[in-house]
Structures are given as structure tokens and as C-alpha cells.
Structure 1
């Protein structure tokens, strides 16, 4: 699905469509609040860290989870990732193996995370956490799951897109908010703003009033010199494809066409054939995101998707922070505090 334009109005304010849907959004918010009150979170024997957001769509959670995961691995932690596996058919709990699992099985993000550390997909988060612990996890990091109350979290980091912010400030479906700002901040250990811009100022101000630490970050693309050699067609099926197209241009790419698919779109043979036909017509190359590429990399040999996977250029990204030392100090301190509690599991000595 694509985000409706009234979620992020250019001139601010609350569009009529959002006002019309506001009562439905209020019910959505009440249902979420009620669920969080009724469900008792399952506490685990190891620290649980949640990287979540307050809006639907991409906010930069996965690059944040990758960066913090690498930090924990460098400290000698046996990090395991846990994800719902949005867009995949597997209910789990199941360990992700990037060698043979496809995104249609486990979703996009788990395949990216599995390249870093053991990753589990489970619709039932406590079941997935138990398997991770049984497999040797000393820390569990959740990619998303901020609104899911089934698993007790020791630290929740709330990630927001600095350019998109909170949109029109309304709850789904009237706006992009998954829950009310005040409700989310009660459970947030810190706010991470990814990308420059003023649209996250409302959330930052609310966090400041509550004394919640804030960190500024951004997604940095790796250089791709091939973009300067010929014109390109950029295609993507992610939450905010316009950000990706802007990134390609900033890297020096000349785009003769942009093609948008729905978020988490599973590419078909027809899609691949059309993309390659368009590239031939324009005498252009094809470029996409790393998250889109994982939906192509296990295509059957000889298929149009496999040919596309062999030829497409990939823009790879990483998260960078103004105060990474401060962010990791907060993370490490919370893990240490959790282990100092009476019911904590065995401590791990950092390498």
C-alpha cells in the first residue's frame, strides 16, 4: 500500500479526508491502548531491546538495528534479532537462513538482519524469544514491535523520520500514527530522529518535556560510481520511495524514469520483464534499494527475475549518528542494569 497524500500534507493542517476518518482513528487508538492494558508482557531471562517507531512506513529502523547490533557484537554479546517477519508467509518461530529463505517466506528486514546475526521470525514474540535464548542469545533486539505488548522490553528506542515527522498527527487510517504521541513516549527510553528536517520537532519537544534523551542520525548511502556512467531507471517498493530516488540523484545518478511498487511488493516475472524492457528502451541501467534486492536474490535460475538480480545496481546504506557514543552508552547501561536485577540471566563479559 502507498501512503495517502493526506497523511503528509505539504502545507500542514488537517485535510478533510483525515477529519472524516478521525473517528475510525480514535477507535484504532483505543483498541491499541486496551490491548496494551490487558496483555501482560512476558519477561525474558536476557535483556530485550526494541527498535520501533510511531508511524506506519519507513523511518530508518533497520539501519539503526544494524548499527546497534554490530556494536553489541563487537562487545562480545551473543546478539539475536527478533522480527514479526512482515510480508512473509512464515508464522514461526523459525530461524532465518538467508541462503535459502526468500522474502516471501520471512519478509525483507529479517533477511538483511540475518547477514549480521542470528535472526528469528515469530508472530508470537515470546515464543521467538524463548527459541533465541535456547540457541544461546545473550541479548535480543527486536526490529519493530514497539506497539506489541506481548514481550517485556528493557529498552525501547523510538525512531522517527526527520523529514516526514508525524505527518498530519492523526491515527491510522486518518493519518500515519500507530498510537498517540503521549502514549508512545511513556514507553520510550530514547528518541532517534533519522534525517534532517523540522517535521519531527513536535515529537522532540514532547520528549524534551518528559526528559527523554534524543539522538540525531541519518542514513548514509555507500558510493556507487556506476551511477555516473549512464542514465538509470530507479525502482522501489518501500515505504517512502521518493527518499530513495533523491538519494540516487545525490549520488550523481541521472534518472530517466522512476517506478514505484507497493511496500514489500513481491516482484513477478512480468515486473522484471517490464523493467528490463524499459531499461532497453531508454538505454539505461536499473538501480534499486538493498531491501528491494532481497526480494530478487533467490529468484529461480534462468528466470527474468534472476537476470534482473544479476544486472541491477544496489544502493546500500548505513546509519550514522551525531552522538553514537552517547547512544551506545545508554544501550550498554540499560543492558548492565537489567543483568543486575535479581531475576536476570547469566552475565556476558564483553570482548
Structure 2
């Protein structure tokens, strides 16, 4: 078992943190608290943009469903009269920015999540300095900035904070890195405006979110689609380089598919060599992974898009907060 897998087993399996992680956790806690305090006590260090900023992030390592939520939120706010754009660090890509995506960019350059968001039709800018990247969105006509995975990026001022939690794994053992999966203490949830829970059973005051996706789209010929029920009763390879591959595998198994799961690290850079399956079975993957494999996709490869489903009242509440900022 590798170090990462061993740590995650302890984080989410109920075991006590390894002894060597506890002093590192204390150091991480000190550094994180000092950094947050610096921006809290020095307003001049915070960059305020001339448009509202909504941050969507999490306080745990790994995927929680931020990208589908970002896409759904951008569409919902566009329907309410806003012109949203998304700013991202561009994790996993080589571009340091600031750079405004064109829609034809190589995910290896701009990152898989920004590519997927731009593919949905939402303007996206990336950069290691997010305030500078966000200004590209404003120059392009956006009157609202959605910051992807920006809860800990305190340099960028924000008006609304949304934290997404994996409803099944929640906050794991509640410890900070590397003793646990937390980027910030659990008390950070008290400061955000909305806590969105992806799956599981949300607690009082939390916003329920589900990911729905029952259709597969052929990656070699996108005109071909098939309901997941057509794959039921037979084996299929499921490939996932996301924060929680097990969630994707379980969603396929729920449709009666005999899943052969192939988990990879989050943001894995796929190559043809990752798909040496000689049995000819269908290969199913997430949209996030598919954007990195489209150039060498084969006829039996399928992507399974999902959409975030939340109560309309959530979108209305966010829009109301933003309208209050204008008045």
C-alpha cells in the first residue's frame, strides 16, 4: 500500500493518525492560522475586484463535487441576469497565466477542471495570481466572478463563500494535514455562507446536492449516446482520476454494471498506456478525465457526464445576496 493510500485509509477508515503525522499537523495548523490571520488583520493585502466574487471550495483534500456545482451555479446565475465567469488556478496544467481560455486549449496546458468548465460554455481564466486572472474575465464582459477552489486563497477578496463537502466521507477523522484530510479546521465551516453536501445525509442548515448522470456519450463518435442501462449485466472498465474514484465506480454499479475499477490520482495525466485492456470491454470515464483523453479515444470508450442538482431556493439565496451588494 502506497503512502497516499495508507494515509487516506487512516483519514477515512476510523484509524488513529500515524504518530509521525501529529507534529507535522501542529506545524501545518500554525502556518495555516498565521496566513489566515495576516489577511484578516491587513485589509491592504486583500485584492478587491470591482465585481462581486463568489468562492466555491472545500476544506478537505480531494474532490467533493466542486466542478459540477460551479457549472450549475454559473448557469443558474446567468438565467437570473448575471454574466458569470470562472477563475481558477489551473491546477495540473503548465500555464501560469494570467490566461483567458479559448475553448480549444490543451488540458495539459490549462488544467482538466478549467477545460471542463469552459467546455460547458462558461468563460474561464486561469493564473497562479487569481486576482490578475479574474481581471481578464471582467475585461471580457463578466459582471460576476466565481472562484473555483478558492476558500484558502485569501488574497482574493470575496463576497460569498460556498463550501462543498463529500456527504459520505464528510471531514474524515477531523484532523488537519497530514494527520487527516483537512486543509483548515472544521470550525472554518462556521464562517462560510453556504455549506453544500454532495450525497449522504445533510445536517440541518446544509444544502443537499446530488450528481445525476444516466447517459454515456461515445468519445470516438460523440453523436452516439447510450443510457447506462445498456451496459448493465456485463463487465466494463471504469477509469477515474478524481478525488474520490469510488464514488464514480459505485454510481456505475448502481446501474447494474459489472465494474472493473481503475483508480488514478486526482488530475492524473492520462496516456494511451493507461488503457491497455485487451478484452474489448467498454471503457467508462468521468467528463473530467475524458477531456484529457479525447485525442486518442477509441470506439469503445465512453464518457459519463453528470450534473449537479440542488434546490432552486439555493440559487435564489445566492442571487439575493449578490443583488444586495448592488443596492
> TM-score scaled to structure 1, two decimals?
0.82
Mapped contact 1:36–1:148 kept (Cα < 8 A): no
1:57 and 2:69 aligned: no
Structure 1 CA distance for aligned equivalents of residues 170 and 162 of structure 2: 16
- Compute the displacement of 1:76 (Å): 2.5
Gaps of 5+ in 1: 300-305, 341-351
Structure 1 CA distance for aligned equivalents of residues 167 and 303 of structure 2: 24
1:24 and 2:29 aligned: no
2:238 corresponds, among 222, 225, 234, to 234
Mapped contact 1:82–1:142 kept (Cα < 8 A): yes
Structure 2 CA distance for aligned equivalents of residues 307 and 61 of structure 1: 26
Q: Deviations over 1:253-310 (max 9, x none)?
A: 122x2212211111123223x1xxx2x33x411111111101112x2xxxxxx143x4
Mapped contact 2:233–2:256 kept (Cα < 8 A): no
Structure 2 CA distance for aligned equivalents of residues 116 and 178 of structure 1: 31
2:249 corresponds, among 245, 256, 280, to 245
Name 1:270's counterpart in structure 2: 273
Name 1:157's counterpart in structure 2: 162
Runs of 4+ in 1 over 6 A off after TM superposition: none
Name 2:206's counterpart in structure 1: 214
Q: Deviations over 1:66-120 (max 9, x none)?
A: 1111101112311111111111111111112232x12211111111111231101
Structure 2 CA distance for aligned equivalents of residues 334 and 240 of structure 1: 32
Mapped contact 2:198–2:211 kept (Cα < 8 A): yes
SS across alignment from 1:173? coil
> TM-score scaled to structure 2, two decimals?
0.88
2:261 corresponds, among 245, 248, 258, to 258
Mapped contact 1:286–1:311 kept (Cα < 8 A): yes
Name 2:303's counterpart in structure 1: 314
Structure 2 CA distance for aligned equivalents of residues 102 and 221 of structure 1: 25
Structure 2 CA distance for aligned equivalents of residues 161 and 76 of structure 1: 30
- Compute the displacement of 1:52 (Å): 0.8
SS across alignment from 1:4? helix
- Compute the displacement of 1:56 (Å): 0.5
Name 2:200's counterpart in structure 1: 196
Name 1:38's counterpart in structure 2: 38
1:106 corresponds, among 105, 110, 127, to 110
Structure 1 CA distance for aligned equivalents of residues 72 and 273 of structure 2: 36
- Compute the displacement of 1:329 (Å): 2.0
Structure 2 CA distance for aligned equivalents of residues 261 and 216 of structure 1: 27
SS across alignment from 1:233? strand
Name 2:85's counterpart in structure 1: 80
Structure 1 CA distance for aligned equivalents of residues 191 and 59 of structure 2: 11
- Compute the displacement of 1:311 (Å): 3.1
Structure 2 CA distance for aligned equivalents of residues 88 and 71 of structure 1: 28
Aligned length: 305
- Compute the displacement of 1:186 (Å): 4.4
Name 1:302's counterpart in structure 2: none
Deviates more, 1:215-224 or 1:146-155: 215-224
CA separation of 1:106 and 1:23: change in aligned 2, threshold 3 A: same
2:75 corresponds, among 65, 70, 73, to 70
Name 1:303's counterpart in structure 2: none
Deviates more, 1:23-32 or 1:242-251: 23-32
Name 1:344's counterpart in structure 2: none
Gaps of 5+ in 2: 40-44, 216-227
Name 1:285's counterpart in structure 2: 282
Name 1:345's counterpart in structure 2: none
Name 2:181's counterpart in structure 1: 176
SS across alignment from 1:320? strand
Name 1:15's counterpart in structure 2: 16
